[in-house]
Amino acid sequence: MNKTVLSFLAHPDDAEILCGGTLVRLAEAGWSVHIATATAGDCGTMTQTPWEIGATRTQEGKKAAESIGATYHCLGEKDIYVCYDQPTLQKTVDLFRRVAPSLVFTHPAKDYMMDHEMVHLLARAASFGYGAPNASTFPLLPGSHVPHLYYCDPIEGVDPQGNLVTPTTVIDVTAVMDKKSHMLACHASQREWLRAHHGMDEYIEAMKRHGILRGKQAGLAYAEAFVQHLGHAYPHDDILVELLGSKK
């Protein structure tokens, strides 16, 4: 198996909040880790221009990725304007083609904002089709095939109707919480943004509380939760449990 994992989410810091601990564990297990965002998070500010905050946030994303030996990518789409259309899908397929992941994390189908839902669609389409020779002009790398696909928790673990999502897979991230927290702390610009826009001054603490919630449900101190995509042509074995020895 090509031991390459791709986290493809909407904004810088999404991976650190939603699957950062699992990415750390995979990196420690010898996997090549890629963290990609559809946008540079150019609306994540109350005071700066889109170009200023976008530059800041992509550098924060790069710093966070590098802290665990990962590679950061950004498609350059506009924050809150992510669309499932042909140009954006082509960029997504090209990204998948260059990375050739055998394991992918993305957003769930239903979440609190539409950027997340559009990225979900892009990831599903690209994960299914990137291995088709004619899908991209980038060369087809060895091991390019339909990957294991997992959906991260929606924010706070609830769907847009407020229902708690039931995961298929729960990963123990207790031992790597310091590294996960360090990754999230690299996104310094967002603490002030969340205070101004959301009235939240607990950037890292909110992440930890959710980790405790998912951990408690599985008898762990901290955990990350996922729903595995089991549609036609996708692998059905739970590779995360096989690799990391965690609970379901």
Query: In the prediction, which pLDDT does 82 show?
Result: 98
- pTM for the model: 0.95
Looking at the chain, the whole-number percentage of residues with pLDDT higher than 90 is: 86
Q: Residue-wise over 96-123: b if at least 16 C-beta within 10 A, else e?
A: bbebbbbbbbbbbebbebebbbbbbbbb
Q: Angle of helix 177-185 relative to helix 20-28, nearest 10 degrees?
A: 120
Cα–Cα distance measured from residue 154 to residue 167, given in angstroms and rounded to the nearest whole number: 11
- Tell whether the model's pLDDT for residue 196 goes beyond 80: no
Least-confidence region, from 31-35, 116-120, 197-201: 197-201
The domains of the chain, with CATH numbers, are 4-244 (3.40.50.10320)
Predicted confidence band at 150 (pLDDT cuts at 50, 70, 90)? very high
Q: What is the pLDDT of residues 56-72, one digit of tens each?
A: 999 999 999 999 999 99
Look at residue 247 in the predicted model and tell me its pLDDT.
54
Model confidence pLDDT, tens digit, residues 124-141: 999 999 999 999 999 999
